[in-house]
Amino acid sequence: MKRPLVNPLDTNHSSEAEEMGRFYQETLGFVPNSLFTMMHRPRIATAFLEMNKAVMENKGRVTSSLKRLLAYISSMTTGCRYCEAHTIRAAVRYGAEQEKLENIWEYQTHPAFSDAERAVFDLAVAASQVPNAVTDEISERMREHWEEGEIVEILGVIALFGYLNRWNDSMGTKLEEPAADDGVELLGEKGWTRGKHQY
């Protein structure tokens, strides 16, 4: 794209914007342009922030690092370069093991991944496709390894990033430099580029 569909507001636009900026400064290490595009309609940004907090909250076995790897798999499946860079950065920040980061797309066979994680990532790939590709077989494998509340958490991450993938790819959100640096470092060998998110 020649330019983003909508430009983000400044983080100093309002006290509400500044507060949201502080939250993301802690989680990502920078303020995402996507949120400040949403800030053109503050209720959307506020609702998104609350949904993000609820979905990414760590309740136990569905760890923070697993949620970020899951978000990456979902974003890679849909092809959103912006979210791929964000989620791989977040996976590092939330403690994902180096071996898993390096072999995420070999999850079905690589020994770093458990059968429970394989079930999660298979669900992510299937649920992130259009049309949806979740089958009885995928569902049964999820039930073998995860309780219903955990499955709700997992699908919450996939659905949250379904929203973000569509938002950022359609907006052509400008990718922030820290995320771009991580994209190049961690995903460049797999063919990642900024794509439409570079201006």
**Longest CA–CA separation in the chain, Å:** 49
11 has a pLDDT exceeding 80: no
31 has a pLDDT exceeding 90: no
Angle between helices 115-127 and 64-78 (to 10 degrees): 40
Confidence of residue 10 (pLDDT cuts 50, 70, 90): confident
Residue type, 122: D
Q: Which domains does the chain show, CATH number per domain?
A: 61-190 (1.20.1290.10)
Name the burial class of residue 83, with classes exposed (0-12), middle (13-18) and buried (19+) by CB atoms within 10 angstroms of its CB. Answer: buried
179 has a pLDDT exceeding 80: yes
Q: Rg of the chain's alpha carbons, rounded to an integer? A: 16
* pLDDT tens digit sequence for 101-158: 999 999 999 999 999 999 999 999 999 999 999 999 999 999 999 999 999 999 999 9
Structure tokens at 128: 């992130």
Q: Which residues contact 182 (CB under 8 A, 6 or more apart)?
A: 85, 88, 89, 92
CB 145 within 8 A of CB 115: yes
Q: How far is CA 37 from the centre of its chain?
A: 17
Compute the mean pLDDT over every residue in the chain, rounded to the nearest whole number.
Answer: 94
Confidence of residue 23 (pLDDT cuts 50, 70, 90): confident
